[in-house]
Amino acid sequence: EYFRIEASHTPAKPTDPVLVDVGYKIVKADFDPAKLEAGTFEIELDLANVKSGIADRDAHLASAEFLDVAKSAKGSVKVSGLKKDGDKNYSGEATVSLKGIEKKFPIKLEVLEVGADGSVKVKAEAAFTLADFKFGNAEGKVASDLKATVQLVLKKI
Q: Per residue in 16-63, pLDDT tens?
A: 999 999 999 999 999 988 888 989 999 999 999 999 999 999 999 999
DSSP symbol at 4: E
Flag whether the pTM goes above 0.95: no
CB-CB contact of 31 with 156 (8 Å): yes
pLDDT at 157: 80
- Output the average pLDDT for the chain: 93
More confidently predicted of 119 and 156: 119
Q: Residues 6 or more apart from 96 whose CB is under 8 A from it?
A: 75, 76, 77, 102, 103, 104, 105, 128, 133
Of 108-112, 139-143, 152-156, which range is least confident? 139-143
- For residue 105, pLDDT beyond 80: yes
Q: In percent, how much of the chain has pLDDT > 90?
A: 83
- Average pLDDT, integer, range 58-74: 92
pLDDT at 38: 86
- Average pLDDT, integer, range 81-105: 94
